[in-house]
Every structure is written in structure tokens, then in C-alpha cells.
Amino acid sequence: MSLAATERAEATLRMRPLRDARFTTLLAPALLGVATIGLWQLVVDVFNIDAFIVPSPQSIWSEFLDSRSSIWHGMLGTGRNALYGLLIGAALGILGALVANAVKVIDLMAVPIVAALSVVPIVALAPVLYTMFGAAANTARVIVAALTVIIPVYVNTLRGLRQVKVVHRELMHVYAARPVFVARAVTLPTASPYVFTGLRIASSLAVISALIAEYFGGPVDGLGKAITTAASSSNYPLAWAYVLGSILLGLAFYVVTLLVELRVARHSSPSTSTVSL
């Protein structure tokens, strides 16, 4: 989907109450999903496709049920790394944006760093980090996740901090309000929809990068490692069952951030836009 289309979809989602949005946001995609899976099953059955090319949804599902405890275990392992990465990265991103917003020089100095970090595929650092922190620890994976999270959170927060309306700033000036009060009453509430947009993008990225980082080494307690192991032992339905587990994990992260956002930022300005990278 193009950026503009995403923005429009978000705008409509935000302005309607949740229960009105239910049909279009939940039922319609669900129908599409069911149709796709049905078609998939049909194609695999009719053309007798081999499991190493693409296994049938049915075989993936039965493998998923059989191995659900080890999949759950993998989700916990990868999920923990992603969560730590998300929390650390988000904290650093928000903090960095606050500093950059307050000190112009730091903002200017950060521009090339941010640009560089946003074009570097951060998972590519994983092998290097494994040698730095040891392949027995999860440190490298948390760092990879945190690094991917920092950028979208930083960029969106900084943009949000700059949305403070002139009339609000002047009002605070007229009240001779202290800087801490201004931050609490005006700046942070203005920025919060943008911060959440950043967090929503970041939450999925955290899971993806924590998982991909497992492909490059480290301890064997995550989904990424499980996928590679199952694939190399030619157990394709199992590999796909782990992929299904990863999808669920990514969704869980996304939905939780979305719910927190809906609770916190209900009456902030409806015209929120996204900066994605």
C-alpha cells in the first residue's frame, strides 16, 4: 500500500468509533483470509504440489497443533527479545527526540546519523554483534531489535513535538507557564499520536528483526532458529507452522500497541500522519 493510502486508511480508522469500524476492519479482511486459505488448499490438492514447494494449509495447521508447545516456547523466546528491544529502543528514541527538539545543534548533528541508520539493514550487524557479545547470549538480538526501533520512534516523536500549535505556545507564554508544565500540558499530548504511530511501526519491526537476527546464530530458543532447523531437516510443514507462530507474534505486538494507543490518545487531533522509513 502506498504511503498516502495508509494515511487515509488510518484517518478513517481513527475518526470512527471502534464498534462502527468492526465490520470493515475485522470481518472484511477475515473473509479475504478465509477465501485465500481455501484457494491455497484447493490449488495444493488439485495440482498435487510437493510439500517442499508449498505445504497445504491443512498439513501446516496439524503440524501447528502437534508442536504447539514448542512453538509457544519459541514465541516466548523471540517475543522476549523483541519486547526488550522495543522498550529500550522506544525509550532511547523518545529521549533522543526530546533532546533534539530542545537543542537545535543536536538535531542537526543527528540528521546524517538517522539517515545512515535508516538505510543500513540493521540485522546485517547481527553476526558482528554475536562475536562481540558471545553467541550464547541474547544480547545481540535485543540490540538489533532496539536499533531498528529507535529510528521510527525518533523520527515520528520529533515530528510530533514540532506540531505544537502557535496559539497553544502563545497561550503558555502568556500564562508564564514553567517549561515542565508546558511539556506536560501541551507538548507531550500534541506529540503522543505521532509517538504511537512510531511505536506501531516499531512494534512489528522489533519482532521481525529479533527473529531474523536468530538466522545468524545465537542460542536456540526462538522462532527464527526453529524455522531454519525445521527447513534444513526437510520438515516443511513444521517450518511453516513456526512461520505461522511468527505471524501471530507480530500481530500480538501490533494489536497491543494499537490498543494502548486507542486508550491513551483518544481526543488528540484527528489529523495524524505517518513517517515511515
Partner 1 sequence: MTHALTDDAVTKDGCAIRASGVGRVFAGTKGHQVIALDDVHLEVAEGEFVSLIGPSGCGKSTLLRIVADLDHPTSGSLTVFGKSTHQARVDQDYGIAFQQAGLLPWRTVAANVGLPLEVHGVARSDRQTRVEELLELVGLTDFARSYPDQLSGGMQQRVAIARALAESPRLLLMDEPFGALDEITRERMQAELVRICSETGAAVLFVTHSIPEAVFLSDRVVVMTPRPGRIIEIVDSRPTAGHARDDEFRDAEEFFHTIARVRELLHGGPVAAARGVETR
Residue number with CB closer to partner 1 (25 or 192): 192
Q: Give the number of C-alpha atoms closer than 13 A to the C-alpha of residue 64, restricted to the C-beta side.
A: 17
Do 155 and 196 form a contact (C-beta atoms < 8 A)?
no
Amino acid at site 192 = S
The helices-and-strands tally (H runs, E runs) of the chain is 13, 0
Given the complex with partner 1, which of 72 and 175 has the nearer CB atom? 175
Q: How far is the CB of 268 from partner 1 (least distance, A)?
A: 5
Instruction: Tell me how far apart the alpha carbons of residues 173 and 151 are, in angstroms, rounded to a whole number.
Output: 32
Nearer to partner 1 by Cβ, of 119 and 167: the residue is 167
Could you tell me the smallest distance in angstroms from the CB atom of residue 23 to partner 1?
A: 24
CB of 274 to partner 1, least distance (A): 19
DSSP calls for 47-100:
HT--TTT---HHHHHHHHHHTHHHHHHHHHHHHHHHHHHHHHHHHHHHHHHHHH
Nearer to partner 1, 16 or 173 (CB): 173
Q: Rounded to the nearest 5 degrees, what angle is found at the Cα of 245, between the Cα atoms of 240 and 248?
A: 130
Q: What stretches of 162-264 show up as alpha helix (H) in DSSP? A: 166-174, 179-182, 188-214, 223-232, 236-264
174 in contact with partner 1 (CB under 8 A): yes
- Name the nearest CA neighbour of 85 among 169, 40, 148, 27: 148
**Part in contact with partner 1 (CB under 8 A); list of ranges 116-124, 152-160, 178-186, 195-203:** 178-186
- Point out which span in 35-43, 97-105, 152-160, 266-274 binds partner 1 (CB under 8 A): 266-274
Closer by beta carbon to partner 1, 99 or else 264: 264
Binder among 5, 46, 53, 167 for partner 1 (CB under 8 A): 167
180 binds partner 1 (CB under 8 A): no
Coil, strand or helix at 206: helix
Q: Contact between 16 and partner 1 (CB under 8 A)?
A: no
One-letter amino acid of 76: L
Number of other residues whose CB lies within 10 A of the CB of residue 248 = 15
Assess 260 for contact with partner 1 (CB under 8 A). Answer: no
Smallest distance, Å, CB 150 to partner 1? Answer: 26
Place of cell 514448542: 70
Strands (E), 47-103: none
Binding window for partner 1 (CB under 8 A); candidates: 4-12, 36-44, 56-64, 263-271: 263-271
The contact mask relative to partner 1 for 182-221 (x = CB under 8 A, - = no) is ---xx--x--------------------------------
Q: Which grid cell is 219?
A: 542460542
165 is an interface residue for partner 1 by CB under 8 A: yes
Q: Does 162 bind partner 1 (CB under 8 A)?
A: no
Q: Which residues bind partner 1 (CB under 8 A)?
A: 165, 167-168, 170-177, 181, 185-186, 189, 265, 267-270
